[in-house]
Structure 1
Amino acid sequence: MRIALFITCINDLAYPATGIAVTRILRRLGHTVEFPDRQTCCGQMHANTGYRAEAMPMVRNYVDVFDGYDAVVAPSGSCTAMIRDQYPRLHPPAASVAARTYELSELLVDVLGVTDVGAEFPETVTYHPTCHGLRMLRLGDRPLKLLRQVRGIDLVELGDAEECCGFGGTFAVKNPDVSTAMLTDKCARVGETGARVLAAADNSCLAHIGGGLDRHRSGVRAMHYAEILASTGATP
C-alpha cells in the first residue's frame, strides 16, 4: 500500500513533531510513508470564510499531488473533514482521492486493522474529541481504542468531553468573549480529571486549550495523540 502523509499547515509550521510521530508509527508497523513536497494548504480557511474561488487552486493541487496514492493520512480532524466533506462539492473530480484521505485513527483502525501500535507512555492522560473529528468525521472511539492499548498509560475520562473548546478557527477571533468562556469551561473539566496530559486529534484545538491551561498554571501538557502512540518509553 502506498501511503502519503499530508502534514497540514499548522503541523508543518508549528508542530512538526506530530508529522514525525505519524511516520514513526506507520514505519513501526512495517509501512513506507511518502511525503510529497508539492503539497500545500488544503484551503479550509479560505473556503470556510467564503473565499471558495481562492481555495480552488489548493483543491486542484491536492488532487494532482495525492491522486496516485492508495491512502493519504493526515494528523488533523479538521483538515481531513475539509477534504472529505467539501472537496467533492467544490471540485467533483476530487471525490476519489478525498475518499482515500484518512485521519490517523481511521487509517490505523479501519484500513490497517490495528489498535495496538506498540506504544508505551507512562502518564495520566485525558482525551478531548475535537469538533470536526467528532461531528463531521464521526471518529467515535477510534482514537480511544488506540490510546487504551498504550502500555503504562492511565487514561481518564474527560467530563463534558463533547463540548467545544471554543476555538473554531476565526470564531475565536470574531467572538473572543464567548470563546474564552468556552475555553474556561474546558480547562476546568480537564483540571478535574487529574491528568497531566491532554490529548486530541487537532493541534489547532490543542494550541487553544493548551494556552488556557498554561495561563491557569495547571501543569497539564497539551499533546497530539499521535505523539503518544509514537512513544516507546518514558515521557519525552
Structure 2
Amino acid sequence: MASSRIDLNADLGEGFGRWTLGDDEALLGVISSANIACGFHAGDPSIMRRTCELAVQRGVAIGAQVGYRDLAGFGRRRIDMAADELSADIVYQLGALQAFAAAAGGRVRYVKPHGALYNTAATDPVQAGAIAAAVASVDAGLPILTLPDSALAAAATAAGVRPVSEAFADRGYRSDGTLVPRSEPQALISDPDEVAARTLDLVQTGTVVSIEGVRIPIRPDSICVHGDSPHAVEIATAIRRVLAAAGIEVTAFS
C-alpha cells in the first residue's frame, strides 16, 4: 500500500570556519528534517547555531547528525573505538546541538549517525549498541534514523529507542540492503529526474532496485538527500515536485 506522506531529510551545517559546503538555506526551503552536523565530522559552534536558527525559522525538524571525531576525513573513515568512548562522543555531540537548538527556540527531535559511523552501525552490533545506549541515556524519546533491519535498528529497539527506517534517494543499493560504498561505481546517482523517479517508486512500492537489478524491501519513513551533493537542491526540488504530483505529502516524521 502506497504511503500518502513521507519525510525528506538532508545533511546540513557541514562547513567549518570559513569553508562552506552545500546550499543549506535553499535546502531548508525544500526538506522537512535537517540532520545538523555536531562538530566532529563537520560543523563548528557558529555554524551549528546559525543552522539551528534557520531550521526553526523554516519550521524544519532538527536532528543531531553525530559522527566520528574525524574532521580531516569528513567522518567517512571507520574508526574502531571502545563502546564507552564512542558512546561518550555521541552524548557530547547530542548535548551540544541540544543547547544550540534550545537557544534558537527549537529542540533536537531525532538522531542520525553520519557517514562511516552510519554504515558501521548498520552491521556492527558493538558500535550500534554504543550509539543506542548514548541516545537512551540522554533522551530515550529521540528516534534514531537508520537502515531497516540493521544492527542499529535492533540495538535501538533493545535500548527502548524508536528506530526510524530510512532510504537514500541518491545512493546505490546492494541486494543485501546495504549501500554501495562511495569508492565503488554506481554509489551515487546525480541526475535529479532519475533520483525523483526512483524516490516516487520507492515510496509507492516500498522497494528499491539494487545495482544487481533485484527489488529489495525498505518501506521508509524518511528519504535522505545528501546535502553535499553538487545537485542537492535540484534533486530535493525534483523529489518534492513528483511527490506532490502523486498526492504524497512531505512532512517530518518526528
TM-score range relative to shorter protein: 0.3 to 0.5
Higher strand share: 2
* TM-score, length of structure 2 as denominator length: 0.33
* TM-score, length of structure 1 as denominator length: 0.34
Higher helix share: 1
